[in-house]
Structure 1
Amino acid sequence: MTVKKTKKAVTKFFETKRETFEEIQEASFQRSEKLLVDVLKEKIGTINYPFPPFVPIALAWIFIILFPLAFILDPSFTTSLDMSSRKIIGFYLPLLATALIFFINQKALVRSCIFKKHYVRYFIYNSFLLIALLLLREVALFLTDRSAGEGIAEFFSTYYFSTIKGHFSIRTVISFALMVSFVCVTSVFYNIILRQTLKAFLQREKKNVELQYELDFLKNQLSPHFLFNTLNNISALITIDPKRAEESMAKLSKLLRVMLYQTSDATITIKEDIDILQKYAELEKLRLDESYDLKFNINLEDENFQIAPLIAMPLVENAIKHSVNPDGKSFAHISITQAGNKITFETENSNYPRKAKSNAGGLGLATFKKRLDLLYTSRYTYETDVEGDIYRAKLEIITD
């Protein structure tokens, strides 16, 4: 095998291993991000920072600078030590060097090298940092030991090069190399966790925006659907009873005005929502026979209890719509109970369902169920039951 083929085979081998590593790494990222997204689905309040973002960094540096003073200024500690300039530098230099290397890695090197897969470049840059750190140590020690009249020029001309073996011991180099390595590993993991956390937050915010758009769309579908059915009813009344049709139009106008102003928010009080339901039921009753039995049973513990607007409108609408029996008794009984953080909507009506048109599609109930899934997810139950000529529906919602 020629050198060229060998080089090609080795390159291909390492390329395959690199791709495998990247796939494993990306799969790990995705698992971690999914876990973070699941955690962040819990309700987290918006954090408002009352101070500029540089303040935590400044506080960290102040801590690094002042921390050794707790030992240096302690009499019981300093009496047993020679607190010379060398000792003070021995306290401060590792702390300052660690903070500086971490800052450089966190702000520049990890993002420009590790995340872009320039691993060799990352190693070279940190090697230069290690050399610079050792050089800084030597300069600091020279400045503490120098005699009067010696300046920094003497460091490079005599002190540094003439005593290089004495100052750069294997122990010193290894200890500083281990410190730099530890800081690099910490910085890489810190940036990976930060990256995954930020991506998880962005995913959550994106889903929240999409959810809000979908909720607004579904809520806006209710009004046209309700308006379509009501106008059909009024249209039928015009030829039969023009006076009642006129009265229905006035009630419809009033109801739409209420719906326009009260349902624009994410939630309204249960009292306001029930008021809309009752106005709608009164409007529907105008087209029905006087013998039609329509009742509301309201039992509220807190009239200011918050609920999504018009969430139960399809229940009331279908209870009335499918209860009209021209040849028998027709009724719709609606019960609304609220206690604690739970609210229950129950409807019971005579069962006389209309035949669905081929293009109807059940928009009202489809929208109803979709809104429940989006707003209350696993915090609601919806059940229906048919017993002879009676149809029952029950919706229970548990709010936060």
Structure 2
Amino acid sequence: MISPRPPEETGAFFNRPTVRDLIANVLMLLFFYVNYYLIIPRIYFRKKYLNYFIVVTISFVLIIVLPSLLTGEDFTANTRGPSPASQMMQGGMPRKPQSPFIMEVRHHIYLFCVVILFSILLQVNRRFHQSERDKTEAELANLKAQIHPHFLFNTLNSIYALSVTGSEKAPDSIVKLSEFMRYLLKDAKENQVLLSKELDYISNYLDLQSSRLRDSVRINYELSGSPGQSKVAPLLLFAFIENAFKHGVNPEEDSQIDIRISMSESAVELLVRNNKVVINNMENSLGIGVSNSQDRLTRLYPEKHKLAIESMPDYFLVSLSLELT
């Protein structure tokens, strides 16, 4: 943008030095993108440092030589420096004139170093964030994998119990199980699902548990508000409800589970309360599903959720407030 010659001179913006610098800058910009997208990932990150040095050196020479060749400038000729007499009058020693090639090297070497360092820094930063995202996705996939077998185990036990007693609800439970499998294999693979699907999933699960447990547990389920098109991480709400049935129900004694879900345009609130019961001579506690859900909340909804878990003498209380997208 800045011409090396005074603007009043004819052809100030189309003289040879300006065109040469323009070509050099375009080549420098081209090298930046090639270095960023190809050379660094394929050579530098593979620890082929000697090869990387050779490629960078060749690129730098081309950036210096090509503009001079394309503009017809003789980069091997010496430039006219100050005369020896003028240098002696200024108290200096006569200096040997430098060639345009040496002057071009001095002119572009700083910019070239900045381009290399900046492109490496950007790639390292991009690679770091990509590795963090991959790590998060892998950990979330592991959390989901831990939830699925646990849920299927409980569901199959429920169907088995209905089949043993000859209940007419066994076929309907099998249909519900197929819907669960469809949800797990198709929708639960996504990072987010419609809140309405998660609620349907919870409703089917409650119907199945109600049929299996019959009068041994009283289920109070309240649903208020409309899910609309809001989305939520799959199995996130369900894990707290499943945990209440796993650790809050003893078929040999009366139990009660209270579930309340309220929704607004941008948030959902979940309240789950279950009695403390003794199962196999051991008092219940929070399970792996809740622990996994806590990890998922921390990773997927940082500073967008409030989770409170209270362990009272007679019951557990889980309260979750979640901002939705």
Question: What TM-score, normalized by structure 2, do the two folds share?
Answer: 0.69
3-state secondary structure, aligned to 1:312: helix
**In terms of mean alpha carbon deviation, does 167-176 or 227-236 score higher?**
167-176
Which whole-Å CA distance do the structure 1 matches of 2:31 and 2:322 have between them?
50
Q: How much does 1:316 deviate?
A: 0.8
Which whole-Å CA distance do the structure 1 matches of 2:17 and 2:73 have between them?
15
Which runs of structure 1 show a deviation greater than 6 angstroms over 4 or more consecutive aligned residues?
Answer: 110-113
Counterpart of 2:314, as a letter, is D
**Alignment match, 2:300:** 375
**Alignment match, 1:99:** 25
Q: Is the 8 A contact 1:273 1:309 kept in 2?
A: yes
3-state secondary structure, aligned to 2:167: helix
* Alignment partner of 1:309 is 2:242: no
Which whole-Å CA distance do the structure 1 matches of 2:136 and 2:240 have between them?
23
Select which of 82, 106, 115 maps to 1:190. Answer: 115
**Alignment match, 2:221:** 296
**Kindly tell me: are residues 378 and 104 of structure 1, through their superposed partners in 2, closer, same or farther at Cα, counting changes over 3 Å?**
closer
Q: How much does 1:171 deviate?
A: 11
3-state secondary structure, aligned to 1:196: helix
Q: Describe how 1:1-400 pairs up with structure 2 within 5 A.
A: 78=8, 81=9, 83=10, 89=15, 92=18, 95-96=21-22, 98-99=24-25, 102=28, 116=50, 129=64, 139=74, 167-169=80-82, 173=98, 180-239=105-164, 241-243=165-167, 246-247=170-171, 249-259=173-183, 260-290=185-215, 292-324=217-249, 329-355=254-280, 362-399=287-324
Question: What TM-score, normalized by structure 1, do the two folds share?
Answer: 0.58
**Kindly tell me: are residues 340 and 353 of structure 1, through their superposed partners in 2, closer, same or farther at Cα, counting changes over 3 Å?**
farther
Q: How much does 1:182 deviate?
A: 4.4
Gaps of 5+ in 2: 83-94
**Kindly tell me: are residues 179 and 302 of structure 1, through their superposed partners in 2, closer, same or farther at Cα, counting changes over 3 Å?**
farther
3-state secondary structure, aligned to 2:220: strand
Counterpart of 2:229, as a letter, is N
Counterpart of 1:336, as a letter, is I
3-state secondary structure, aligned to 1:229: helix
Q: Is the 8 A contact 1:347 1:393 kept in 2?
A: yes
**Kindly tell me: are residues 361 and 340 of structure 1, through their superposed partners in 2, closer, same or farther at Cα, counting changes over 3 Å?**
closer
Let me know the Cα RMSD of the aligned residues. 4.6
**Kindly tell me: are residues 88 and 370 of structure 1, through their superposed partners in 2, closer, same or farther at Cα, counting changes over 3 Å?**
closer
Which whole-Å CA distance do the structure 1 matches of 2:106 and 2:123 have between them?
26
Deviations 1:315-372 (A, max 9, x none): 1112223333567642111111233433222101222253598xx9944334333333
3-state secondary structure, aligned to 2:248: coil
Q: How much does 1:99 deviate?
A: 2.5
**Kindly tell me: are residues 290 and 248 of structure 1, through their superposed partners in 2, closer, same or farther at Cα, counting changes over 3 Å?**
farther
Gaps of 5+ in 1: 1-63, 141-155
Which whole-Å CA distance do the structure 1 matches of 2:180 and 2:31 have between them?
61
Larger Rg: 1
Deviations 1:267-297 (A, max 9, x none): 2111111110011011011122336321222
**Kindly tell me: are residues 306 and 281 of structure 1, through their superposed partners in 2, closer, same or farther at Cα, counting changes over 3 Å?**
same
**Kindly tell me: are residues 100 and 210 of structure 1, through their superposed partners in 2, closer, same or farther at Cα, counting changes over 3 Å?**
closer
Q: Is the 8 A contact 2:247 2:276 kept in 1?
A: yes
Q: Is the 8 A contact 2:272 2:317 kept in 1?
A: yes
Counterpart of 2:270, as a letter, is F
Identity of aligned residues (%): 18
Q: How much does 1:184 deviate?
A: 1.3
Which whole-Å CA distance do the structure 2 matches of 1:217 and 1:91 have between them?
61
Q: How much does 1:383 deviate?
A: 1.9
**Kindly tell me: are residues 341 and 186 of structure 1, through their superposed partners in 2, closer, same or farther at Cα, counting changes over 3 Å?**
farther
Please state which structure has a larger fraction of its residues in helix: 1
**Alignment match, 1:55:** none
Q: Is the 8 A contact 2:259 2:270 kept in 1?
A: yes
3-state secondary structure, aligned to 1:288: helix
**Kindly tell me: are residues 257 and 122 of structure 1, through their superposed partners in 2, closer, same or farther at Cα, counting changes over 3 Å?**
closer
Q: Is the 8 A contact 1:101 1:180 kept in 2?
A: no
Which whole-Å CA distance do the structure 2 matches of 1:374 and 1:301 have between them?
26
Q: How much does 1:393 deviate?
A: 0.6
